[in-house]
Structure 1
């Protein structure tokens, strides 16, 4: 083995990928298809007001995560707290998701506040989870490994949706004495998500290890080190200019994705009359498409690069979103939804892996903190604009049309990214040698 050759632990990679399988139940059922729709029609006074309120919740989440993520990432880098911070955020998200079972019709503040807490914890957990990728994946396989995680995540979301549909939503007599009159069978899907997330996240905490860090003073000393690291990164932004360009582009195009994820089910229900059961089936099909897309495009990512993969996905997402806005038939919405599913996973996976190629060793948490920052700083704009347009014109169709702007502008900004330069500046090793789990076990 050459001195520059990189080994990787397959068991750790599998455990890391399984966390995507675990946490995707939250985004699929709570954020996108089931609870978001239930909130607008089952808790809020009406669908229009419910859509505006839900957009407010997503907006507040984005602002908080944007402010916290770079600083929390810097603290984790300096103190070696990545895994502990990930565990804390995971536990908070799981507990808050379970609490979402309790709000009923009219309890808007209770429901929305609990969702915001769960969503903030979920997004912060992803900062530390994503930061493991450059340490676990060799450069030559980082696109595929990132894609495997996203694909497995969509499988997890799909399977959890199937369980929710056939165990809680569809039966004439819901299990465990759940009452349809109070929508307890719908609210109970939050308990399913909490249990799913808890069980399938365990392997990561058993088999993925924190990179070793030199001991640092706790408390104020660690905060000073984190502040110093953040200041140094800002001063060196010229050297990491490709990271800056990537994050600037993602700042925009990710707004479109956030908006689609948050309001896809709401749009299907409000404009096309989808029932809860139909929305779940819609979500199942989209998750199948997304899993296939994330898996297949991982190979494209490693072959042609992350930038090319993202640009292809943005072109397709723009076309699919335009179809969703213009169509008046359910068939057209189904076609648009499947295409969005096929391309949303590759967009997210390739964005994550492209940053992984650009991250200097030792700064993973901080850079993925900025990655979350870029995904959240203006993420309120998409939901905010959709909510305002929907309320102003009393039309969800006009509100959804706002995502086109984000995909087009984000793609134009991405054209300025020089992938070769970004990889060269990072200086990460590129060779790869697989390592059996037993050779690298604690």
Structure 2
């Protein structure tokens, strides 16, 4: 239902739309810059502009994908079997993302055109979102809606690869946790703000803003136009602020698709030979990130089926849960920088294992128990997602950000079956143990999610944290 510190030898001096490397005084043997100056530079307009993309993109991954358009497409108006078709189409989109995301990131790395490709893919998401306006409630238009949703998912993930790769461009090793936490937290909060606007302004009332009603699905269809505009407006700041810095001419040479895959396989082989620690983290993070996704995917299901929440109560819980997750993610960014991302992830996963087990044990304790334990889960899910991004950002060799974050997307997609499969398997196990069926054993499913989180935690423990000592911009000097 419901993303010991080593000082950097350079710091970034941001001038209007350009990020220019500036030699650090400390690196030259002089005194370090005052902490206040570094913090002011680090959290100026470029960081906020970058974080606003997360705020704007929540229109697609929260309102469209989670709460509104997918629910609309699986309604009776689109005929029988729409939910199964939705599942297959999204699965196909996931395969395409897994296959092409690393190459997409690699090509952006080689060309030095991350901002360009972020802009192109974001505009394609905007176009897909706006196109959903034409999906009237009719079985004949189901496939149009499904294809637009799949295309939006694909381009959203490609945009996210370039967006994540920019993290080292605007942050230093000393503040990357706070910067990442700000973006991820804004994403949570932005999605809920927009959801409240469209729900109470268009979807819930019989006659919404501008006299719009639910006739011919117009309330949902106009919501799609608002989502497209929301994404566009809040994506413009980063696109206009962080200009591309093309790499050396030999890195900009055009590469065919087959050659791109050859380079990718060579890079993966080199990564395995020279830095297995990063490979191990990609594996561990793929597992626990799927567990984190499972918390939001099945949280509402368990709230309604096991703890008796009404549909309205589920929505209220979803709003509160996402706000809690957003605020916690921003606050935990400081702990990421102070303690390191690994400790934050370990703390978060351990707390979620305990809270998830508590949901299982207290399944018959009523709604209050779920409110308490469910919100504890939400406090830690965002920080774990954000710290996972900063953990990898600290490991990636300069100039490889897009490619490795593409692999990050691919590994996540490759194991995305784990949480759903574990949830379903424990439902069957619970039915076999208790002899009961349906909602009476639904609480057993939470043990499947807990198992995936615990497995990811176990895989993470041997991984060594890393610290970048310079940014990708240093190589362009």
Give the alignment's TM-score, normalised by structure 1: 0.84
From the superposition, tell whether residues 71 and 288 of structure 1 become closer, same or farther in structure 2 (CA, over 3 Å): same
Q: In the alignment, which of 3, 6, 11 is matched to residue 6 of structure 1?
A: 11
1:75–1:222 CA contact under 8 A, matched in 2: no
| Residue 364, structure 1, aligned to residue 401, structure 2 | yes
Per-residue CA deviation, residues 39-85 of structure 1 (Å, 9 max, x unaligned), is 44555768xx7665554444333322111111111111112232222
Which residue of structure 2 aligns with residue 70 of structure 1? 102
What residue number does 2:125 align with? 93
Which one of the candidate residues 209, 218, 238 is aligned to 2:273?
A: 238
> 5+ residue gaps in structure 2?
1-6, 15-43, 432-436, 473-477
CA distance in 2, matches of 1:8, 1:344: 33
Alignment of 1:5-404 (within 5 A): 5-9=10-14, 10-41=44-75, 54-101=86-133, 102-104=135-137, 106=139, 108-216=142-250, 218-220=253-255, 224=259, 227-228=262-263, 230-265=265-300, 268=303, 277-324=312-359, 327=363, 329-383=366-420, 386=423, 401-404=447-450
**Residues of 2 paired with 1:122 and 1:179: CA distance?**
29
Rg (Cα) greater in structure: 2
Please list every run of 5 or more consecutive structure 1 residues that lacks an aligned counterpart in the other structure: 431-442
The answer on 1:428 being equivalent to 2:433 is no
TM-score (norm 2): 0.79
Cα distance in 1 between the residues matched to 2:438 and 2:144: 26
Does structure 2 conserve the Cα–Cα contact (< 8 Å) formed by 1:43 and 1:108? no
Q: How many equivalent pairs are there? A: 424
Shift of 1:126: 0.6
- What is the Cα deviation at residue 324 of structure 1? 5.0
* 1:435 corresponds to: none
Per-residue displacement from partner, 1:387-423 (whole Å, max 9, x unpaired)? 788899766655555322211110100001111xx33
Greater CA drift, 339-348 or 103-112: 103-112
Q: Shift of the alpha carbon at 1:130?
A: 0.2
Greater RCO structure (CA 8 Å; 6+ sep): 1
79-88 vs 31-40, which deviates more?
31-40
> Among 451, 459, 462, which residue is 1:413 paired with?
459
* Worse-matched range after superposition: 71-80 or 397-406: 397-406
Shift in CA distance, 278/176, structure 1 to aligned 2, threshold 3 Å: farther
Q: Tell me, what secondary structure is at the counterpart of 2:273? A: coil
- Aligned-residue CA RMSD in angstroms? 3.3
CA distance in 2, matches of 1:71, 1:182: 41
